[in-house]
């Protein structure tokens, strides 16, 4: 598709039940319509971010039952089950050269070094695609869909538009089947959430889709949508994803050549000037690694991935539905309409070229899944750090810029770093002394970030103290590099408290130790 490929999102016009994040450990509830704040303009940061030390500290104090209550369902399956030894990655027809360009049809694979990464890990944990559905009968997508959710009440995820099927192929087109193309994520399973059948989505549907994806065990959520504002329902859903350690990846937007207006939710997810934010904002690049002209540029762009070519009829290569009445078919006769490949050269399914940041984002989502599989103990903020640390700028450039962020994602380098990344927290230690019947003195003891063979050490230990009373937690000492000393007094109305001492390293590997304080 052309540079309008990222779908417009319309403001929701109804109010239904949502899951608030007013308190991290609060059970699901209903937000009253009367309390609804207005939609906020693009660029208003979420109230929580992946790299927030306070969030990491509180999360470290949660036990398994509390995590399950937060999800209101089952926790994701063990990630280790997705890290099976990779099989040999055979070349697919789409890796042959397009004579019109001199590049492989699926040039995006080599551009992000996906085949090399897939020799190290076969696939990742589930990626949720919240979009227009997926043609699950496509020969290159058979067996790639683990879970299906239809938010339209039709008990189907059939894709009448083509946008969702194209995204699904970029992530999870099957390897070693001798047809079509290969998804960057290899054998990564998909959670398909159909939130629309056409050109627009309500933000209410997207919010419901985010929550549904979390409940079904998504570790990565792909949002290839764009809007000028962010409704509070979708904002709440995204904040819940961050709190539950799910990585949200969004298309940066396609306004670069038409005013460059910042687009949601990407501008609220990406951190400022390359820092870790609430998720990742992804720009689109040409085969050279330079940003596509239409790709939105701003201080929230995290990194980039292939999403365009110099020829506006070409772009990245992926699957489209076998039905011939999709948006790809409607756009094909236009001057910059996508090239479509009928069944035959690449197998029984249909394929096409497409342009847009909509199609750059799923490439990053797929690589994120591979990183999770390479080291199952990683948190979402650590995966984001790894992707940004290993991204490559074009022409030997270094550092961050508003067009491509940290550069084009590098799957091989990211997987290799994930295997060596520091995932071991420093020990949490403290001395507790009772100085009166209702008062205790807490002295946090210093600790060192441990060294593990073959693993990097980040260092930078910080300490915090959390107090829990009647199921609610509060910070007694915020994260600090100097071990804190505090006095804790038992309220007259309380029979006891629970005290947590937490130690975290620079990349937020956190350990906690609890102490009951009883009258």
| Residues noted as catalytic | 131, 163, 358
E strand or H helix that includes residue 311: none
Half-sphere exposure at residue 496, Cβ-oriented, CA atoms within 13 angstroms: 6
φ/ψ of residue 91, rounded to 5: -75, 145
Picking from 396, 454, 418, 457, the residue whose alpha carbon sits closest to that of residue 117 is: 418
Q: Provide the angle, in degrees to the nearest 10, between the axes of the packed helices 411-420 and 380-390.
A: 130
Question: What is the DSSP secondary structure assignment for residue 517, as one 8-state letter?
Answer: E
CA dist., res. 256 & res. 310, Å (int) = 15
Secondary structure (3-state) at 485: strand
Half-sphere exposure at residue 37, Cβ-oriented, CA atoms within 13 angstroms: 12
Angle at 214 between CA 212 and CA 215, to 5 degrees: 65
- Convert 243-271 to b/e letters by CB count within 10 Å (16 or more is b): bbbbbbbbbbbbbbeeeeebbbbbbbbbb
Question: What is the DSSP secondary structure assignment for residue 160, as one 8-state letter?
Answer: S
The dihedral through the CA atoms of 198, 202, 207, 212 has a sign that is negative
Residue 407 near residue 303 (C-beta atoms within 8 A): yes
φ/ψ of residue 326, rounded to 5: -90, 175
- Residues sharing a CB contact under 8 Å with residue 342, sequence separation 6 or more, in sequence order: 350
Residue 338 near residue 328 (C-beta atoms within 8 A): yes
Residue that has been written with the tokens 């399956």 in this structure: 77
**Distance from first CA to last CA of the chain, Å, rounded?**
67
């Amino acid at each position: 598709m052309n540079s309008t490929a990222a779908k417009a999102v319309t403001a929701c016009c109804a109010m239904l039940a949502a899951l608030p994040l007013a308190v991290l450990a609060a059970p699901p509830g209903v937000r009253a319509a009367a309390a609804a704040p207005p939609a906020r303009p693009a660029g208003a940061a979420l109230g929580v971010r992946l790299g927030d030390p306070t969030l990491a500290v509180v999360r470290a104090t949660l036990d398994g039952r509390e995590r399950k209550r937060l999800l209101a369902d089952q926790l994701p399956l063990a990630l280790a089950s997705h890290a099976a030894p990779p099989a040999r990655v055979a070349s697919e027809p789409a890796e042959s050269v397009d004579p019109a360009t001199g590049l492989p049809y699926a040039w995006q694979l080599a551009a992000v070094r996906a085949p090399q990464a897939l020799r190290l890990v076969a696939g990742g944990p589930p990626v949720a695609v919240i979009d227009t559905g997926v043609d699950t009968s496509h020969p290159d997508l058979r067996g790639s869909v683990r879970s299906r959710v239809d938010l339209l009440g039709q008990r189907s995820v059939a894709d009448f538009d083509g946008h969702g099927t194209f995204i699904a192929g970029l992530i999870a087109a099957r390897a070693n089947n001798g047809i079509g193309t290969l998804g960057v994520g290899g054998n990564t399973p998909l959670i398909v959430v159909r939130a629309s059948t056409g050109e627009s989505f309500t933000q209410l549907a997207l919010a419901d889709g985010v929550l549904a994806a979390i409940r079904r065990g998504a570790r990565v959520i792909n949002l290839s949508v764009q809007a000028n504002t962010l409704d509070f329902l979708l904002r709440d859903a995204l904040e819940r994803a961050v709190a539950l350690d799910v990585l949200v990846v969004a298309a940066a937007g396609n306004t670069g050549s038409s005013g460059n207006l910042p687009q949601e939710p990407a501008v609220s997810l990406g951190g400022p000037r390359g820092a870790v934010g609430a998720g990742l904002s992804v720009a689109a690049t040409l085969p050279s690694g330079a940003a596509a002209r239409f790709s939105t540029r701003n201080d929230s762009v995290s990194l980039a991935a292939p999403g365009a070519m110099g020829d506006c009829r070409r772009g990245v290569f992926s699957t489209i539905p076998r039905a011939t009445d999709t948006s790809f078919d409607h756009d094909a006769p236009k001057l910059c309409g996508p090239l479509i490949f009928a069944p035959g050269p690449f197998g029984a399914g249909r394929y096409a070229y497409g342009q847009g940041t909509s199609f750059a984002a799923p490439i990053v989502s797929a690589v994120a899944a591979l990183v999770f599989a390479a080291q199952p103990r990683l948190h979402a903020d650590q995966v984001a750090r790894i992707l940004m640390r290993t991204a490559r700028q074009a022409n030997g450039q270094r550092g961050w810029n508003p067009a491509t962020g940290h550069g084009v994602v590098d799957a091989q380098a990211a997987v290799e770093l994930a295997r060596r990344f520091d995932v071991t927290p420093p020990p949490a230690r403290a001395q507790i002394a009772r100085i009166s019947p209702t008062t205790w003195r807490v002295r946090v003891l210093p600790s060192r970030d441990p060294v593990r063979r073959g693993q990097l050490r980040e260092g930078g230990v910080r300490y915090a103290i959390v107090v829990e009373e009647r199921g609610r937690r509060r910070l007694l000492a915020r994260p600090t590099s100097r071990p804190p000393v505090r006095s804790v007094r038992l309220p007259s109305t309380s029979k006891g408290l629970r005290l947590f001492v937490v130690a975290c390293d620079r990349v937020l590997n956190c350990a906690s130790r609890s102490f009951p304080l009883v009258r």
